[in-house]
Structure 1
Amino acid sequence: MDTNKKKANLPIEETCSNPSCFFCIMKEPDSLLRKAGIIKCFKEMPARDDQEHVLVLSGLWNIAMTQPNDPEFPSLGIFECMSSFIYRGINDRDWLLRDQNIYIPYYAAHVIGSYTMNRVEFAEKAVDSGVIPPLMELLRGKISWVEQRVAIRALGHLASYEKTFDSVAEHETEVVDLAMNIASTCVDVVYAEFFGEKEKKKKRLKYQCDLLTRGVGGIEMENRKAEEWASQLQCWSIYLLNCFASKGLSLNLICKQDFLKDLCEMWGGLMNQSSPCGIGLIRILCYSKTGRRSVSQSKHVLETLCNLSRSSDDWQYMGIDCILLLLKDPDTRFKVMEFSTLFLVDLVETRKLGGRTNVGETLTKALLLNYKPNKSIPFYRNSVVESALNFIWDLKVQRRNRERKISEEEVEERRVLINLLKQEGNEKFWSGEVEEAVLKYTEGLSLCPLKLRKERLVLYSNRAQCYLLLKNAEAAISDSTRALSLSNPINSHNKSLWRRSQAYDMKGLAKESLMDCLMFVNGFITSKKKKKKKKMKMKQDKVPYYAARMISKQVNATWLFAKAEIKYSNGEMEQVHETDGGDDKDIKNIDDDDDDDDGGRDMMVQQKKISNMSGLSTIIEEQEPWSRINKKTTKLERRTSNSRRKSLMVRPRQSKTQLKDSNC
């Protein structure tokens, strides 16, 4: 009797009545039967109506993400299956809006991109299976920006291989034109369709929200992921353009002045710091004659490159590379010299940067090419540029030759004298005689031998602090940059980073200010850790409140949607459409969520302040060139959130902070 009771309590295994069930086929122990079943399933699924299709596609997406190099599914017809699903979603609107089929085109395109990102043989198989035409349909915006993101990602992978590039290049003009348009407008489109809701009752598309968050988190996570995906859409668009530009194709189209100006604003942001984004494409363009000519004609692009060259951005070396390429071209040299010399003069003592050695020497040779130091005949028509070139000549040639004759005893004597001048300058500074302090630091720099890099670093940094108090932002940036160029490694002197961050803030250059402030905070935390190890004390690191306030300010200013928000509030984005054939009305009708979104705007405003500081991700993307979070961001995000909230309640006395920070 007990035995019967036990048997009665055992769970009864449900049997599947569908002979074509994909999940049952995957459980088949016989490998030959399993393969035959998968092949049959891939052929029949797109033509069959089944509510389980979404579950199957979701499972295939997960497998493709976690096992992109597994050859099983690519060899059994998965690319043909995904292409058919995309076509059906585009052409059969009734089917697309039935059940949960709206998710299928997204999953299908994502599966194609995941399997083609690493292995060229998979990419060849995908092209032979006809994936490019349906991906092009999604790229044209036949459904929405969410599907565009995965379509352009897949096309970018296919265009990155020599063996499959030609197949993508068959649509060259259209692909390039679409990629340029998406890169320039996607941020506005996502903001208008996802954030900038004029009517509180207007809902976000539910299926997009589900794809963004995978059911984890609420509106805050949706905001954060929408920002991340918009940034990825822009980065992938530029990546696809890189594939064409690197082969010298469609340069006249890509080098349009309006688009070059747009590229300067595409810096990836804190969401995609590992992507060079706009600057990466500009550098590729500078390798060609057409690209150099177009870049040299844009004052805005040159200014962006020069500001980047004097920043602590990860892509600083790319900005320098671009300027060097322009300087070495006789047709663009003099156009660029007039603008760039005043920036590059601060970098001529740089040693290592971005894996390159002797960066300062390379800059010196490029700037002094054909230079003749003759006072009676000006080398350059601009007196300011002429003065900068004379400074470089004196510093790198004449002064170096003179100091070769100086003995070690004289060097030590000068070291003592320079320390005295620095102390006098500090005393003048503390007594409020800032102009007199500048003179003392300048005198010390004129006497300081070039080999005393540490002493010169401190003098430049102290003088930069004086210029800050004198409201001379450009001079403060120049001296801070010279100090950071002398540091080892480059951009590692904390006080100079903070001073340059303040100077950039005075000039309204939010991105450069933010990068310097992030580097300052990381250096501050690192130095605190070293002191703790010596003192053996365990105490939580705290970000200085003045740095936290600066970060908060610049994060808001550099928020991905900052300009889009201004456009939207001014009524410039009432109708933003990126599609050329899609009918958004039908798609919007599938959202049957009755929850009000009255608090969405307040949440969004709060979220934009913290979204760039977060490293969380609910959908684990593959390790794309731009999906890895940079170390300096991850260090910061662990420590700043609480400090930033507290700092907003504190109002620092600016003059006292500057004085406290001045004594090196």
Structure 2
Amino acid sequence: MDSLKKKGKMTPIYTTPKTSDFDKMVSEQTCTNPCCFFCIMKEPDPSLRRAGIESCFKEMPLIGDDQPHVLVLSGLWNIAMTQPDDPEFPSLGIFDCMASFIDKGINDRCWLLRDQNIYIPYYAAHVIGSYTMNKVEFAEKAILAGVIPPLMELLRGKISWVEQRVAVRALGHLASYERTFEAVAAYEDEVVRLGMHLASTCLDEVYVKFVGEKDKSKRSKYHCDLLTRGVGGLEMENRKAEEWASQLQCWSLYLLNCFACKERSLNLICKQEFLKNLSGMWGGLVNHSSPAGVGLIRILCYSKYGRKSISESKDVLENLCHLSRSSDDWQYMAIDCLLLLLKDPDTRYKVIEIATMFLIDLVELKSLGDRSRLGETITKALLLDYKQSKFRIKNSQVQKALQETWELKVERRKREKVMSEEKVEERRVLGNLIKQQANHLFWLGDVEAAVKSYTEALDACPLKLRKERMVLYSNRAQCYLMLGDPDAAIRDSTRALCLSNPANSHGKSLWRRSQAYDMKGLARESLMDCIMFINGCINSETSNRLKIPYYAARMISKHMDATWLFANAQSKATISHLREVQESDDDYEISSNEDQECDEMMSMMMEKKSIASGLSTIIEEPLIVKERNWRETKRARRRNKAVVARSM
């Protein structure tokens, strides 16, 4: 597509009108051309109007190149987007017209590069996708009109990634219906391979060819126009490109979902390299309505072949485990996947040693979204064959974790079920006294002793007192943070969040887990917890002036770069550029330390991410006494102590 932007000057595209504006434009349009689409739309007689529109759809791709087709296509795009269920245009041949325009754009390059025709294939494919979005009857008409071959050409990348985006969207809608799936499946092997390739590489493609191109004059002009609708500068272009790239990835995964649901081409989709890539596809903050990679992984877990393949990928399992213990909207999908793997006898003992250490923290989860008694379901899956599993599991930590779960959810529950109200109250008082002792030890700085006391308080506190136990777990998590044990802090803060009502709503635990994830370098999980923490601050703010803790804002800022949709693409592009510079330098000599130098450059580029190993709180930085007088040092210590006090 580089040749497209080198061809002469391209006039600005018409800004797409709203429906009311389009109607007004039609009413004001005057011309002497009897085939003018706008004149036909003004026809008051419904039968004549329909006949004229039908004739227009047949003749538009065939008539002279001097006609402003792009304006008509832009208007049709707007109508299809706002009225996708209106049967008028689909019944009058709009699909044949759009398919012909795509064919013309692919096969007649001279026509494509003339005037504003470069926009037409995009609009045509978008119209097809919009009208086939909801109605199977429209999808059947589209199939009969022969839209699949031209859409496949766009999917192959015959024009650019912009057209691939709308082509994969349209094909995904067509493949989602039982009555039209086979028409798409006629290209099954190619569609699946292209879908996998697009999902894996589209972010790199969009970054290299658009977002990473800082010289605006080198960006494809029509891409900029389509992204911004003629309004907005460089920042708007980049923001929309990020959104579209995420949609391109998610729609590619949606198309693959259509085949995975029917257990088709699983041998391709379940390749280990793709599964590894898949587990890292999350859609980003710009496309939070799509489950992205985890959505397809869950579909694969419904099939025996898919479960077998996923159970053999350590990377996929670890990503699922981290997601299951997060505040991400798709947490429940990760839990579903792990439960399906645990319930299958053929995969249970391949995943149990990894999954157990994460799922045990969720056994007291009451509900999550529309799923009730989820903790009970998790407990049953973990203890499915508890007595036999003790002999099959060699990892002593896992054995201990299962034993603790058995004690908590079976033995202790039995004992407390027959406990009198007086005994419950007695244990509540005892637990509270031990908690106060633990708090006192914490303030004295004996954090390890405080951990032991909080543990004793948890043992004393009855299971039914969820709120009290939530506070105990959360406070112990703070102790583990102070001791530099992020894994233990994540476990306890997760258990506290499971006990909160609703789940994942306890602000202090969210912030503590965000810090712990930050210590482990898990930027996405830390970011999601921090966002949830800030949302809680906003919702609980009673004053007119909104106050967001600056330490939370700093955490957000820190992780936005690391979790940016194009973060990996940017890193790859930078490394590639450095290597090109090295290879093109005539004076460059290959030394035995070349690999070490490359590693050093990569470390420099990832400098921001390396900070993730530190505890990101307002007391993370050591006091530099040499640069402060004693009064400043004293004030700083008081502030730090006040922050810790508020967090308990």
Alignment deviations for residues 556-579 of structure 1 (CA, whole Å, 9 cap, x no partner): 11000001000000017999xxxx
Q: Which residue matches 1:501? A: 514
Q: Following the alignment from structure 2 to structure 1, what is the Cα–Cα distance between the partners of residues 578 and 303? A: 36
Report the residue type matching 2:548 in the other structure: V
How far is the alpha carbon of 1:660 from its aligned partner?
A: 3.1
Give 2:170's match in structure 1, choosing from 124, 148, 154: 154
Instruction: Say if 2:29 and 2:39, in contact at 8 Å, map to a contact too.
Output: no
Q: Which residue matches 2:18? A: none
Q: Following the alignment from structure 2 to structure 1, what is the Cα–Cα distance between the partners of residues 579 and 86? A: 46
How far is the alpha carbon of 1:227 from its aligned partner?
A: 0.3
Q: Following the alignment from structure 1 to structure 2, what is the Cα–Cα distance between the partners of residues 14 and 292? A: 60
Q: Following the alignment from structure 2 to structure 1, what is the Cα–Cα distance between the partners of residues 437 and 268? A: 59
How far is the alpha carbon of 1:50 from its aligned partner?
A: 2.8
Cα separation, partners in 2 of 1:656 and 1:393, compared to 1, 3 Å: same
Instruction: Say if 1:235 and 1:268, in contact at 8 Å, map to a contact too.
Output: yes
Report the residue type matching 2:549 in the other structure: P
Q: Provide runs of 4+ in structure 1 moved above 4 Å.
A: 572-575, 652-658
Q: Following the alignment from structure 1 to structure 2, what is the Cα–Cα distance between the partners of residues 479 and 103? A: 55
Q: Which residue matches 1:119? A: 135
Q: Which residue matches 1:309? A: 324
Q: Which residue matches 1:351? A: 366
Alignment of 1:361-440 (within 5 A): 361-372=376-387, 378=391, 380-440=393-453
Q: Following the alignment from structure 1 to structure 2, what is the Cα–Cα distance between the partners of residues 456 and 15? A: 75
How far is the alpha carbon of 1:446 from its aligned partner?
A: 1.0
1:464 aligns with 2:477: yes
Q: Following the alignment from structure 1 to structure 2, what is the Cα–Cα distance between the partners of residues 134 and 540? A: 55
Cα separation, partners in 2 of 1:574 and 1:186, compared to 1, 3 Å: farther
How far is the alpha carbon of 1:378 from its aligned partner?
A: 4.8
Instruction: Say if 1:309 and 1:317, in contact at 8 Å, map to a contact too.
Output: yes
Q: Following the alignment from structure 2 to structure 1, what is the Cα–Cα distance between the partners of residues 258 and 498? A: 34
Instruction: Say if 1:430 and 1:659, in contact at 8 Å, map to a contact too.
Output: no
RMSD after superposition: 1.9
Report the residue type matching 2:281 in the other structure: M
Alignment deviations for residues 344-366 of structure 1 (CA, whole Å, 9 cap, x no partner): 11111111113111111111111
Alignment of 1:140-539 (within 5 A): 140-197=156-213, 200=215, 203-372=218-387, 378=391, 380-528=393-541, 532=542, 538-539=543-544
Q: Following the alignment from structure 2 to structure 1, what is the Cα–Cα distance between the partners of residues 571 and 236? A: 23
Report the residue type matching 2:225 in the other structure: D
How far is the alpha carbon of 1:333 from its aligned partner?
A: 0.4
How far is the alpha carbon of 1:15 from its aligned partner?
A: 4.6
Identity %: 72
Instruction: Say if 2:282 and 2:294, in contact at 8 Å, map to a contact too.
Output: yes
Alignment deviations for residues 581-636 of structure 1 (CA, whole Å, 9 cap, x no partner): xxxxxxxxxxxxxxxxxxxxxxxx9xxxxxxxxxxxxxxxxxxxxxxxxxxxxxxx
Q: Following the alignment from structure 2 to structure 1, what is the Cα–Cα distance between the partners of residues 642 and 61? A: 66
Q: Which residue matches 2:548? A: 543
Instruction: Say if 2:165 and 2:247, in contact at 8 Å, map to a contact too.
Output: yes
Higher relative contact order (CA 8 A, sep 6+): 1
Alignment deviations for residues 309-333 of structure 1 (CA, whole Å, 9 cap, x no partner): 1011111111010001100111110
Report the residue type matching 2:645 in the other structure: K
Report the residue type matching 2:310 in the other structure: V
Cα separation, partners in 2 of 1:404 and 1:14, compared to 1, 3 Å: closer
Q: Which residue matches 2:83? A: 67
Instruction: Say if 2:467 and 2:499, in contact at 8 Å, map to a contact too.
Output: yes
Q: Following the alignment from structure 1 to structure 2, what is the Cα–Cα distance between the partners of residues 518 and 435? A: 30
Report the residue type matching 1:557 in the other structure: A
Q: Following the alignment from structure 1 to structure 2, what is the Cα–Cα distance between the partners of residues 246 and 58? A: 35
How far is the alpha carbon of 1:404 from its aligned partner?
A: 2.1
Q: Which residue matches 1:25? A: 40
How far is the alpha carbon of 1:416 from its aligned partner?
A: 1.5
Q: Following the alignment from structure 2 to structure 1, what is the Cα–Cα distance between the partners of residues 186 and 229? A: 36
Instruction: Say if 2:30 and 2:39, in contact at 8 Å, map to a contact too.
Output: no
Q: Name the stretch that deviates more: 410-419 or 474-483.
A: 410-419
Cα separation, partners in 2 of 1:14 and 1:275, compared to 1, 3 Å: closer
Instruction: Say if 2:278 and 2:294, in contact at 8 Å, map to a contact too.
Output: yes
Cα separation, partners in 2 of 1:126 and 1:573, compared to 1, 3 Å: farther
Q: Which residue matches 2:571? A: 566
DSSP 3-state at the match of 1:516: helix
How far is the alpha carbon of 1:656 from its aligned partner?
A: 4.3
- Using the size of structure 2 for normalisation, the TM-score is 0.85
Number of residue equivalences? 565
Instruction: Say if 1:96 and 1:102, in contact at 8 Å, map to a contact too.
Output: yes
Report the residue type matching 1:233 in the other structure: L
How far is the alpha carbon of 1:202 from its aligned partner?
A: 5.3
DSSP 3-state at the match of 2:322: helix
How far is the alpha carbon of 1:501 from its aligned partner?
A: 0.6
1:659 aligns with 2:644: yes
Report the residue type matching 1:539 in the other structure: N
Q: Which residue matches 2:124? A: 108
Alignment deviations for residues 117-176 of structure 1 (CA, whole Å, 9 cap, x no partner): 011111100000000100000000000000000000000110111111110000000000
Instruction: Say if 1:192 and 1:573, in contact at 8 Å, map to a contact too.
Output: no
Q: Name the stretch that deviates more: 306-315 or 31-40.
A: 31-40
Q: Which residue matches 2:559? A: 554
Cα separation, partners in 2 of 1:44 and 1:432, compared to 1, 3 Å: same
Q: Following the alignment from structure 1 to structure 2, what is the Cα–Cα distance between the partners of residues 373 and 421? A: 37
How far is the alpha carbon of 1:429 from its aligned partner?
A: 1.1
Q: Following the alignment from structure 1 to structure 2, what is the Cα–Cα distance between the partners of residues 340 and 655? A: 37
Q: Following the alignment from structure 1 to structure 2, what is the Cα–Cα distance between the partners of residues 373 and 161? A: 45
Report the residue type matching 2:123 in the other structure: Y
Instruction: Say if 1:373 and 1:390, in contact at 8 Å, map to a contact too.
Output: no
Report the residue type matching 1:509 in the other structure: L
Instruction: Say if 1:378 and 1:386, in contact at 8 Å, map to a contact too.
Output: no
Q: Which residue matches 1:10? A: none
Q: Which residue matches 2:630? A: none
Q: Which runs of 5+ in 2 are unaligned?
A: 1-27, 581-604, 606-635
Instruction: Say if 2:29 and 2:38, in contact at 8 Å, map to a contact too.
Output: no
Q: Following the alignment from structure 1 to structure 2, what is the Cα–Cα distance between the partners of residues 19 and 401? A: 85
1:37 aligns with 2:52: yes
- Using the size of structure 1 for normalisation, the TM-score is 0.83
Instruction: Say if 1:85 and 1:105, in contact at 8 Å, map to a contact too.
Output: yes
Q: Following the alignment from structure 1 to structure 2, what is the Cα–Cα distance between the partners of residues 558 and 518? A: 13
Q: Which runs of 5+ in 1 are unaligned?
A: 1-12, 533-537, 576-604, 606-651
Q: Following the alignment from structure 1 to structure 2, what is the Cα–Cα distance between the partners of residues 335 and 138? A: 41
Q: Which residue matches 2:632? A: none
Alignment deviations for residues 387-417 of structure 1 (CA, whole Å, 9 cap, x no partner): 0011001001111111123211121122122
Q: Following the alignment from structure 1 to structure 2, what is the Cα–Cα distance between the partners of residues 264 and 15? A: 56
How far is the alpha carbon of 1:249 from its aligned partner?
A: 0.1
DSSP 3-state at the match of 2:368: coil
